Amino acid sequence: MKLANEVAFITGGASGVGRAIVERFVSEGAKVAVFDKSVDRLKELEQTFGDDVIGIVGDVRQLSELKTAVNQCSEHFGKIDTLIANVGIWDYNMALVDLPEDKIDQAFDELFHVNVKGYLLAAKACLPQLVETRGNMIFTVSNAGFYTNGGGPLYTATKHAVVGLVRQLAFEVAPYIRVNGIAIGGAMTDLRGPASLEMDSRSVTSMYKEWYEDDDLEAGKENIAAASPVGRILQGEDYAGSYVFFASRDDNVPATGTVLNFDGGWGIRGIRRKTGSEGLLEKLKVKASEGL
C-alpha cells in the first residue's frame, strides 16, 4: 500500500474523478476527508467507506467553510498530508461569439471563482497543516490547461490559470510542500456548468446524450474514443493512479511545480492522422493484444 498512514483532504470528492480518487486512496491505505456541496453523495461515501472517509459539506468559494473543514479533518484524522483541489465547472465549449453580452461578467466571475479561486482558497486553508507534515498539493487541471477546444475561452482560461497557480505556489512553499497538477482528459462524469449561463443542471453525460440520440449513445462514445490516441473513453479510475503517484512520499519526492499531461495523448495527435501507427503491425509481423 503506497499511502499507508497518509491523510488526504479532497474537494469535490463525492462524484466523478474525485470519487474515483477517494476509492483508490482508501485502497492504498489512506484516510480521506471529502469536502463537497452534495450532502447526499457525502452520506453515501461515508456509508461505503466507513472509518476511512469523513464527508464535510461546504462550498469551495468560501474560505471560512474550507478552514472549518480543514480543522475538522485535522481533529478527526490527526493531520493532513495531501490536499487535492479538484472541484470544477465547465462552460460546455461556449465560444466567445455565443457568450451573451449581459452574462459575460457573471459567467467569467463564476467560472474563475470555482475553478481558480476555489483552488487558491483550499491551498490557503491547508497551508499550516501541510507545512507541518511536509506534505503536498495536487490540483486537477485539464487538457484545457494546455490545448484549445477542451472548453470555450472561459473554461480554457481558468485551467491555464491553474497551471500558473501550481508553479507560483510550488515556488512559494518549497521546500516544505510539493505542489503539482494533473491535466486529465475527458471522462463521463456529472461535471456541471455555471448557473449564470443556465448550465448548472447539465452534465457531461447529458451532453453526450444531446450530441448523439439516446439510442445512439454507444456509437457516440465510440466516435469520441476513436478521436483519442489511446483509443478509448477514459474514466475517473483511469486517472486516479496519477494522484497516488504525486501523493506518494516513496515515489515522488523530486516532483514539484510540474503538471502532468495525463489525458490519453491529445498533445501528440498528428496533423494528417491521429496516430502514426498505420501499417505498424504488418511491418513488424506481430499481433497486438486487445485493448488497453
**Which residues are catalytic, by number?**
155
SS3 of residue 204 by DSSP: helix
- In terms of CB distance, is 176 or 188 closer to ligand NAD? 188
- What's the count of helices (H) and strands (E) in the chain, helices before strands? 10, 7
Per DSSP, the residues of 208-257 read: HHHHS-GGGHHHHHHHHHHHSTT-S---HHHHHHHHHHHH-TTT-SS--S
- 3 vs 266: CA distance, rounded Å: 30
Sites for ligand NAD among residues 70-99 (CB under 6 A): 86-88
Sites for ligand NAD among residues 255-284 (CB under 6 A): none
- In terms of CB distance, is 57 or 133 closer to ligand NAD? 57
Position among 10, 12, 21, 152 found at the interface with ligand NAD (CB under 6 A): 12
Q: How far is the CB of 157 from ligand NAD (least distance, A)?
A: 13
Q: Is 59 in the site for ligand NAD (CB under 6 A)?
A: yes
Point out which span in 96-104, 166-174, 184-192, 254-262 binds ligand NAD (CB under 6 A). 184-192
- 86 vs 106: CA distance, rounded Å: 22
Position among 186, 193, 194, 264 found at the interface with ligand NAD (CB under 6 A): 186
- In terms of CB distance, is 93 or 248 closer to ligand NAD? 93
- In terms of CB distance, is 138 or 184 closer to ligand NAD? 184
Per DSSP, the residues of 102-145 read: GGHHHHHHHHHIIIIIHHHHHHHHHHHHHHHHT-EEEEE--GGG
Sites for ligand NAD among residues 100-119 (CB under 6 A): 114
Position among 125, 161, 191, 240 found at the interface with ligand NAD (CB under 6 A): 191
Q: Is 189 in the site for ligand NAD (CB under 6 A)?
A: yes
Q: Is 152 in the site for ligand NAD (CB under 6 A)?
A: no
The helix (H) or strand (E) run that includes residue 22 is helix 16-27
- 289 vs 232: CA distance, rounded Å: 15
Position among 7, 14, 26, 233 found at the interface with ligand NAD (CB under 6 A): 14
Point out which span in 25-33, 98-106, 167-175, 179-187 binds ligand NAD (CB under 6 A). 179-187
Phi and psi dihedrals of 135, rounded to 5? -90, -150
Point out which span in 36-44, 93-101, 104-112, 217-225 binds ligand NAD (CB under 6 A). 36-44
Position among 2, 8, 10, 16 found at the interface with ligand NAD (CB under 6 A): 16
Point out which span in 169-177, 180-188, 216-224, 248-256 binds ligand NAD (CB under 6 A). 180-188
- 292 vs 146: CA distance, rounded Å: 25
- 158 vs 110: CA distance, rounded Å: 11
Q: Which of the 8 DSSP states describes residue 87?
A: -
- In terms of CB distance, is 66 or 177 closer to ligand NAD? 66
17-42 burial code (b ≥16 CB/10 A, e <16):
bbbbbbbbbbebebbbbbbbbbeebb
Binding site for ligand NAD (CB under 6 A): 12, 14-18, 36-38, 41, 59-61, 86-88, 114, 140, 142, 184, 186-187, 189-192, 204
